[in-house]
Amino acid sequence: MIPLSTGTITVTRVEDAAGVDPYDPPAAHPAPTTIASGVRAVLTPPSATTKLSGGTRVDYVAQLRCDTTAMLPGDAVTDSETGLVWTVLWATQTNALGLAFTRAELKLVEGAT
């Protein structure tokens, strides 16, 4: 458990997205499953890179520390404070100073893709 938090998050996962065509209508996509909600968390201020390819694209990367959660790469993390939905790049369980918590790196893309 982290000693201090700045907000809460919700973690969702699409269980069987391997066979889904991203160009299919949303109704054909499987519904996401909530893995955890109301999880106490700290999200670091994101760093950003800008790419130009037919428009402006901004890739944000942020670090997450939260109470222990079964998070996997590809899961979606919704920040309850901002409403932003981040994608998990990697996640690991950590023990430090007698505290067990989850560390993760998150990515958010805005603009042209």
pLDDT, tens only, 70-106: 999 999 999 999 999 999 999 999 998 888 999 999 9
Condensed to tens digits (0 to 9), the pLDDT of residues 8-49 reads 999 999 876 666 776 777 777 778 899 999 999 999 887 877
Q: What is the DSSP string of 56-112?
A: EEEEEEEEEEEE-----TT-EEEETTT--EEEEEEEEEEEETTEEEEEEEEEEEEE-
Per-residue pLDDT, 27: 72
Contact 106, 87 (CB under 8 A): yes
Which residue ranges make up each domain of the chain?
7-17+29-111
pLDDT of residue 64: 93
Q: Looking at the structure, give the CATH architecture of the domain made up of residues 7-17+29-111.
A: Beta Barrel (2.40)
